Amino acid sequence: MSTTFIGMPTVPGTGNLFERAPFPQVAQHELGNVQLRTNLTKATTAIRTKRAARVAELGDWEDLRDSGAAAKDVVLARLPELLTQFEAAFTAAGGTVHWARDAQEANAIVRGLVEDSAPLNEDGRREVIKVKSMATQEIGLNEYLEDHDIDAYETDLAELIVQLGHDKPSHILVPAIHRNRHEIRQIFLRGMEDADPNLGTEPRELAEASRKHLRKKFLTTKVAISGANFGIAETGTLSVVESEGNGRMCVTLPETLITVMGIEKLLPTIDDLGVFMQLLPRSSTGERMNPYSSFWTGVTPGDGPRNVHVVLLDNGRTRALADQHGRQALRCIRCSACMNVCPVYERTGGHAYGSVYPGPIGAILTPLLTGTDAEENSTLPYASSLCGACFDACPVKIDIPQMLVRLRNEGNVVKESEHGRLPKTQLDVALTGASWLMSDGRRMALMEKGLPLAKLLSPKAGIRSLPGIAGAWTSSRTIPRPPRQSFRSWWSAEHREEAREERREARDRAQFRRFEARSGAEPAPEAGPAPRSENQHETKES
């Protein structure tokens, strides 16, 4: 067993966790892609509908969510203990545990294991097959291996589409969600040497083409790389749940199996799986259960891989764990339910987020892993309308809207510490002015007196074009024509007589008290309900 120090909050996450450009800039470009928006709307609507139907079947869904959140919080509270327990159990079962602080260490470990286990081909390169894995996407493993003469072949259908299309994943669960079947056909014809030129666009035909393309790789490749949905500390067991069966073949056929798993994926005992095996399939694919659920514990002679390794990946996770409020993001089970209900994601797609983790969860998880002081990810917490749909959909009750607001504030604190409190941009000026105006009722009332003039000067159809930063809003929205009066003005007008009467009564009471004080009389008691007499009580009782 290795000597391991758990908890290095100063080590930031690295790899595919950074925006290439500010979110608003990339999102503006993606909004112009009509085909992308059509594909996303169709796919997310279908998944949302299936999920709603499966969730409605369970009368205790909210109880399951509570249980899932509580179980993950226990894991985070006991993480050092559970990690060392998992290491001991995995090692006792014949496996080997490796620890990686960041993406560079994880990639180097995997490369060394592949070079030790995979034979050289005639072209001097090595081959591995892969199960869909967010952790390996996070660390940029495929790109790293390619630079070191190792070809990694994705076996998940959606990941294969992305790989053959020289594309990037845009969704945690369905990486090629931004592609339709006509685009997929073209990708297969260009990227598969053995593809039938008469290949159609029916899903069955496309799936069959991918099976034929991958079958030889399954049967001949000596090394497989996987991620893990869960790791069981008590037994050292790893698991992958999926819908296609490719994962089952990857974790059983090769001689060497290497798993890259984030340290937060642990559960204390096998019994804890019961809750998550109900939450995950319903939240991700809208199914009652996953068609393929694979579990393996170390090495079993004569059955499955003979060399089993697991790389336990930190890459900023202990940094997130050190954040008292942000650690709840580590509950995430990568179901993608938050993305499927997010209006911002549905319109911009996953590529706008830059990080391998898109959507609402990516907008909080990515800055937490890299640090809120990472300038590249400073705009991600603003990639949300704060509508709250993501919190309602999350199976482990991560309060994403609250975290987004908190990260926005932390980002502002960092900016103020570096540049001072003076506003630097049009947005800073606008928000500073709004804060000053709305913090005082008298200033608000004075501003509201200008509403009649604003209504008179505004087009009847609404305001469709504004200068400066406000133009970003009106480029895709129309601001309604201002009302004739504010709600406060309307309320005052509607209740003017009541207000006058209240002021008159208050003035009369004050004058009466002053008169009593001058005359030396004992002050009258405050008005209140008259006490009931004994006779009244008896009458009611009778």
| pLDDT tens, residue by residue, 36-94 | 889 999 999 999 999 999 999 999 999 999 999 999 999 999 999 999 999 999 999 99
User: Quick one: pLDDT at residue 415?
Assistant: 55
Find the domain containing 272 and state its range. 80-154+222-315
What's the number of domains the chain is made of? 1
Residue 90 is assigned to a structural domain of this protein:
yes
User: Quick one: pLDDT at residue 424?
Assistant: 63
Please enumerate, as own/partner, the contacts of 82-86 that have beta carbons within 8 Å and a separation of 24 or more: 82/233, 82/266, 82/268, 83/4, 83/6, 83/233, 83/263, 83/266, 83/312, 84/1, 84/4, 84/6, 85/233, 85/234, 86/231, 86/232, 86/233, 86/236, 86/266
Residue 528 is assigned to a structural domain of this protein:
no
In angstroms, the CA 127 to CA 113 distance is 12
User: Quick one: pLDDT at residue 2?
Assistant: 47
User: Quick one: pLDDT at residue 535?
Assistant: 46
pLDDT surpassing 50 at residue 1: no
User: Quick one: pLDDT at residue 418?
Assistant: 55
pLDDT single digits (tens) 279-292: 999 999 999 999 99
Residue 141 is assigned to a structural domain of this protein:
yes
| Domain CATH number, residue 293 | 3.40.50.10420
**Whether 321 contacts 72, CB under 8 Å:** no
In angstroms, the CA 61 to CA 318 distance is 30
What DSSP letter does each residue of 467-490 carry, written as one string? STTHHHHHTT--BPPPPSS-HHHH
Alpha helices in 420-533 (DSSP H): 426-438, 441-448, 451-457, 470-474, 487-494, 496-519
Which of 1-15, 105-119, 386-400 has the least mean pLDDT? 1-15
Residue 21 is assigned to a structural domain of this protein:
no
User: Quick one: pLDDT at residue 539?
Assistant: 39
Q: What is the mean pLDDT of residues 365-381?
A: 86
Residue 199 is assigned to a structural domain of this protein:
no
Going from the C-alpha of 132 to that of each of 14, 228, 501, the distances in angstroms are 20, 9, 72
In angstroms, the CA 180 to CA 166 distance is 16
Confidence of residue 384 (pLDDT cuts 50, 70, 90): very high
In angstroms, the CA 222 to CA 121 distance is 12
User: Quick one: pLDDT at residue 3?
Assistant: 46
Residue 264 is assigned to a structural domain of this protein:
yes
Q: In this structure, is the dihedral angle defined by the CA atoms of residues 520, 526, 528 and 534, taken in order, positive or negative?
A: negative
Using DSSP's 3-state secondary structure scheme, residue 128 falls into strand
User: Quick one: pLDDT at residue 369?
Assistant: 93
Q: Which amino acid is at 535?
A: N
Mean pLDDT of the chain, nearest integer: 88
In angstroms, the CA 100 to CA 95 distance is 16
Residue 306 is assigned to a structural domain of this protein:
yes
**Whether 277 contacts 68, CB under 8 Å:** no
Residue 227 is assigned to a structural domain of this protein:
yes
